[in-house]
Structure 1
Amino acid sequence: MRWMISAVILTLSISVSKSEDPLKERIEKLINSPEYQQASWGILAVDAVSGKEIYKLNSEKMFAPASTTKLFSCAAALVELGSQHTFETNVYQRGVAFSGILDGDLILVASGDPTMGGRNTPEGKMAFKNNDHTYANAGTLAGELTDTDPLLGLTELAKQIAATGIKEVAGEILIDDRLFDRSSSSGSGPNQVTPITINDNLVDILIAPGDKKGDSAKLTMRPQTDAVQMDAEVMTGDENLPPALTIFSDGPNRFRIRGRIPAKSKPKLVVYPVDDPVNYARTLFIECLRKQGVRVVASKFEAKRNNLPAKAGYDNLQKVATFKSLPLSELIKVTLKVSHNLYASTLPLLLAAKKNKTNLTAGLREEGKILSKLGVEISSISFAGGAGGMQADHTTPAATVDLLKAMAKHPESTTYYNCLPVIGVDGTLYDVLKPDSATKGKVRAKTGTLSWHDVMNDRTLLASKALAGDLETKSGKRLFIALFVNNVPLDKGATPSREGKMLAKICEAFYELAP
């Protein structure tokens, strides 16, 4: 009898203990569901004021962070360059101009500006869409275009050159891309990282249905250019069938598009990553010059020579045009809001360039020094790029929260905070909540997704789904959170959006139940 009474008391004690920590109970119910039997979780949430740990699980273990890596690369860029940093892209005249004819060359010196005005709005901001065009070929065909001019910077340079009185260039049009070495982006989307980037090194193709089933679809290329050749055969299909569009490379600067688009549907976007971004920029620049009435004798397809002056030699040449970018804060905003891999991959190279170095290794070493000075334990992180798509990219929830703590105290804290996606509102967090969720607008955080194709089982292995940033609780407290789940085998046909909504549910738990 005594044993039975003790058992009852013990059971009651356990029940009371569980009910005393509803946050832990809610989170563990979520992360221990059957679909995560083979996965690994790392979670840390701390009070932003007191530093008290609200919840932690494997917070000192390393996880693949996916695109939450961008929190580190963007923080380092803001700290080192400053939110008001701008890029100045100059064009120099080499030779003498007489009677409107330049007997020599025009040389555009790439400044590392990742947008060249291609996202600029009349209000002085950089535009973005929640489904960025760089992800247009990802399979969902959800990519969107901003209502901006991808050639704005080149057009402005061409106008300034025409205004000097130059009507003809008898020599070459050259691009000096020696600011840093060409590199590879560490995420999906356009792969080549170069000191000059026009339209994210992409050609956009917007495909609209014809008037009726069986008609040819209507295709619009942006920017309109002779830099590439397109072979398109897309038909208007039954309005009840899903779109089926495929883009193929047919060799340098040539591609074809095949498939169908449903009748009466909205236009769909596909993109073509250009083979040589620097030559692409050169061709577009020549086309812009010609539109401004400047005759160019050189071929617009390829320069016949590339005899650039010494880097110090520009002091002896006449500057004929300058394009100044919007502040770096706008670039960081787009990078974090839409998880822009190309921009994030460029940031370490810009850090290298500031130190008169040219390679990614030097840039990542500089980033490490900056993070260490901020107070981040860099032995707890491992990065091989700026975007989060490299196999070496790993960090701990604790190191991620340490970064958030450090940036909250830094002079660039407001910029950093305002650049993050807002849950239920914009960027990569716009659609993870139910419309009536009380957590809407209460989380500003960077997301991350990294997946591999499991060939043996013909399914997706979700290598990482992550979220890290600031959360405001129901009681008004501010938390720093870092949530990681690694190695989730997805059922055939399933997408990582399920895990995005799961992380949102954990955010809801913190919002409602955090003490």
Structure 2
Amino acid sequence: MPLSISRRFALLGGAALFATPKTGFGQTVAAAELVRMAGLSGDVGYVVADLKSGQILEQRNAGQAMPPASALKSITSLYAMEQLGGDFCFGTQLIATGPISGGRIQGDLILAGGGDPTLTTDDLNAMAKSLAAKGVQGVTGRFLTWAGALPYKNEIANDQPIFAGYNPSISGLMLNFNRVHFQWRRSGSGWALSMDARGRDVQPQAYTAKASIAKRSSPTFTYSDRGGVEHWTVASAALGRGGSRWLPVRHPAAYAGDVFQTLARAQGTPLPAPEEVRNLPGGTVLVSHGSDPLVPVLREMMKYSTNITAEAVGMTVSKRLGAGSSLKQSGQMMTQWLQQRTGARSARFTDHSGLRADAELSPQDMVAALRNLGAPMGLRSLMKPFKLRDATGKNMPAQPFRVDAKTGTLNFVSTLAGYMTAPDGTELVFAIFTADLNRRRRAGSAPRPPGQVQWVRASKILQSQLLERWAGIYG
């Protein structure tokens, strides 16, 4: 498809195309030829603009709405920083409904989540120690958990493998990114299995999740929910001598309550079995735990592309703005926000992490958001340096220009959006989207469908070649 200019580029402050590239660093091949040589099935769209002036320098399918994949986390970061502020912290509390007398709470104890996606077993252990330090040795009533700070969602996306730890449930009380640690090791003629809530300092057993071995070669995992206990089976042919992986949790409040009960007992504070309540009872806050401030939380989210953090952050913002009680409605709220802030007519968000392939955004609307909102908010400082790939797909050992960007990868979807500093110091902002949604639909939830690895490799090579080309203009 030939290069062209759209009227929508007025949003960015002008329009022009690169002239014939100079000889020097970077690709001298025309961008359209690079796309042709990549041999990608599906669609390719990109926009690169001068960060200072907003002038569009080169584009292809700029206005076509495509799945942003995890590059959507850039938009979620902007949404959160503007509405919550960089110093915002999530909180988790232990609340007593009655006074402490004779070492016992005269009433109930509530573990109340505040939507913190970064809460760890070590954090709960510190809270258990603080509770014991106040002289609490038990309760006369119940031990309750409350997860109503955020709407519950069984999973982020319904087209992912059942065992994908990056696709857990969401709720107002989350632990270890709502994942349980499954480990196996050879023992005699069989294997020893364990399920735990592994932290840095402690690793209590998880009683709400169980695993067993099935004599089969596939599927690798099966999942079932039996009376609130999550049961996994694993194929014996997949175990080998030993290993471990994190599996998603679907009952997060029960999981967190179970783990806290174990940790509190170890501190001399035995508690009854946890019960989840829909409404938060009133009472006195005995112990509070605060997350890191929002900016470092977002930086970690961008670095490791943590889906649950993106969803928790986005849903927290939407709840403040009066969104309804679902992830879909929260995505719609973020869509409306971006439309109002930048005029992004292509935006259609169904989540905040980009794990769902039915989310949509065009390259030009992504670039507009990165320039008009991201630059003033310091979004580039939250992104990690991007390393170029050579023609074989391997990381280049060195590159003479800096790129800070957010990547995104799904089956037959690969995206890259961010900022680059050309060799002569020119600051550019860009978005490169590639997707073959027909092949993605045919692949279903297969973890590695035929052709996926090769397709994504070709896309990432093309992304690097386009960046080299644009840097070469200013080499």
Q: Same fold (TM over 0.5)?
A: yes
How many angstroms does 1:271 deviate by?
A: 2.6
Compared with structure 1, are the counterparts of its residues 494 and 481 closer, same or farther at alpha carbon in structure 2 (3 Å cutoff)?
Answer: same
Match among 142, 145, 168 for residue 138 of structure 2 = 168
1:109-132 Cα distance to aligned partner (Å, 9 max, x none): 21111111x2xxxxxxxxxxxxxx
Match among 202, 213, 229 for residue 179 of structure 2 = 202
How many angstroms does 1:23 deviate by?
A: 5.5
Match of 1:492, SS state, is: coil
Compared with structure 1, are the counterparts of its residues 100 and 174 closer, same or farther at alpha carbon in structure 2 (3 Å cutoff)?
Answer: same
8 Å CA contact 1:203–1:272 kept in 2: the answer is yes
Compared with structure 1, are the counterparts of its residues 20 and 473 closer, same or farther at alpha carbon in structure 2 (3 Å cutoff)?
Answer: closer
Give the Cα separation in 2 of the matches to 1:179 and 1:75. Answer: 21
How many angstroms does 1:220 deviate by?
A: 5.3
Where in structure 2 are there 5+ consecutive unaligned residues? 1-18, 161-165, 198-204, 441-448
Aligned AA for 1:269?
S
Match among 326, 329, 338 for residue 371 of structure 1 = 338
Matched residue, 1:328? 294
1:429-479 Cα distance to aligned partner (Å, 9 max, x none): 9x965332415x72111111222xxxxxxxxxx1x2110001122222211
Give the Cα separation in 2 of the matches to 1:181 and 1:175. Answer: 15
Match of 2:115, SS state, is: coil
How many angstroms does 1:418 deviate by?
A: 2.2
How many angstroms does 1:354 deviate by?
A: 2.0
Aligned AA for 1:195?
G
Matched residue, 2:253? 278
How many angstroms does 1:209 deviate by?
A: 6.5
1:326-355 Cα distance to aligned partner (Å, 9 max, x none): 111122112212222222122231012324
Give the Cα separation in 2 of the matches to 1:402 and 1:512. Answer: 23
**What TM-score do the two structures reach when normalised by structure 2?**
0.79
Aligned AA for 1:467?
L
Aligned AA for 2:131?
I
Compared with structure 1, are the counterparts of its residues 482 and 97 closer, same or farther at alpha carbon in structure 2 (3 Å cutoff)?
Answer: same
Give the Cα separation in 1 of the matches to 2:196 and 2:132. Answer: 24
Matched residue, 1:256? 233
How many angstroms does 1:199 deviate by?
A: 0.9
Say whether residues 1:492 and 2:450 are aligned partners: yes
Say whether residues 1:478 and 2:427 are aligned partners: yes
Say whether residues 1:67 and 2:70 are aligned partners: yes
Give the Cα separation in 2 of the matches to 1:191 and 1:229. Answer: 16
1:56-91 Cα distance to aligned partner (Å, 9 max, x none): 112122222222121111210111111211112121
Bigger-Rg structure (1/2)? 1
Match among 230, 248, 259 for residue 211 of structure 2 = 230
8 Å CA contact 1:447–1:466 kept in 2: the answer is yes
1:298-352 Cα distance to aligned partner (Å, 9 max, x none): 225xx2x748455xxx3xx221110111111122112212222222122231012
* Count of residue pairs the alignment pairs up: 424
1:213-256 Cα distance to aligned partner (Å, 9 max, x none): x8655655441322222224799xxxxxxx99923224432222
8 Å CA contact 2:332–2:350 kept in 1: the answer is no
8 Å CA contact 1:190–1:201 kept in 2: the answer is no
Matched residue, 1:180? 150
Matched residue, 1:339? 305
8 Å CA contact 2:148–2:171 kept in 1: the answer is no
Matched residue, 2:35? 31
Aligned AA for 1:200?
F
8 Å CA contact 2:78–2:374 kept in 1: the answer is no
Matched residue, 2:353? 387
8 Å CA contact 1:90–1:110 kept in 2: the answer is yes
How many angstroms does 1:107 deviate by?
A: 1.0
8 Å CA contact 1:205–1:270 kept in 2: the answer is yes
8 Å CA contact 1:424–1:432 kept in 2: the answer is no
Matched ranges for 1:41-440 at <5 A: 41-116=44-119, 118=120, 151-183=121-153, 184-186=155-157, 188=160, 189-207=166-184, 216=190, 221-223=195-197, 224-232=205-213, 246-252=220-226, 253-257=230-234, 258-260=236-238, 268-296=243-271, 298-300=272-274, 303=275, 306=277, 308-309=279-280, 314=282, 317-355=283-321, 357-359=323-325, 360-372=327-339, 374=341, 376-410=342-376, 412-413=377-378, 416-424=379-387, 433-438=394-399
Compared with structure 1, are the counterparts of its residues 468 and 209 closer, same or farther at alpha carbon in structure 2 (3 Å cutoff)?
Answer: farther
Aligned AA for 1:352?
S
How many angstroms does 1:185 deviate by?
A: 1.5
The answer to which of 322-331 and 90-99 deviates more is 90-99
Give the Cα separation in 1 of the matches to 2:45 and 2:356. Answer: 19
Give the Cα separation in 1 of the matches to 2:346 and 2:125. Answer: 46
Aligned AA for 2:70?
S
Match of 1:510, SS state, is: helix
Compared with structure 1, are the counterparts of its residues 401 and 323 closer, same or farther at alpha carbon in structure 2 (3 Å cutoff)?
Answer: same
Aligned AA for 1:259?
A
1:476-514 Cα distance to aligned partner (Å, 9 max, x none): 221101101121759935412342233223222223345
Give the Cα separation in 1 of the matches to 2:144 and 2:36. Answer: 59
Give the Cα separation in 1 of the matches to 2:49 and 2:33. Answer: 20
Match of 2:417, SS state, is: strand
Aligned AA for 2:433?
F
8 Å CA contact 1:448–1:466 kept in 2: the answer is yes
1:177-227 Cα distance to aligned partner (Å, 9 max, x none): 2223213424853331111110111112244667xxx86556554413222
1:236-293 Cα distance to aligned partner (Å, 9 max, x none): xxxxxxx999232244322223334566xxx743232223111111111111111111
Give the Cα separation in 2 of the matches to 1:49 and 1:339. Answer: 28
8 Å CA contact 2:109–2:144 kept in 1: the answer is yes
**What TM-score do the two structures reach when normalised by structure 1?**
0.74
How many angstroms does 1:39 deviate by?
A: 2.2
Where in structure 1 are there 5+ consecutive unaligned residues? 1-16, 119-150, 236-242, 452-461
Aligned AA for 1:449?
T
1:89-111 Cα distance to aligned partner (Å, 9 max, x none): 12111134321122321012211
Compared with structure 1, are the counterparts of its residues 357 and 398 closer, same or farther at alpha carbon in structure 2 (3 Å cutoff)?
Answer: closer
Aligned AA for 1:447?
T
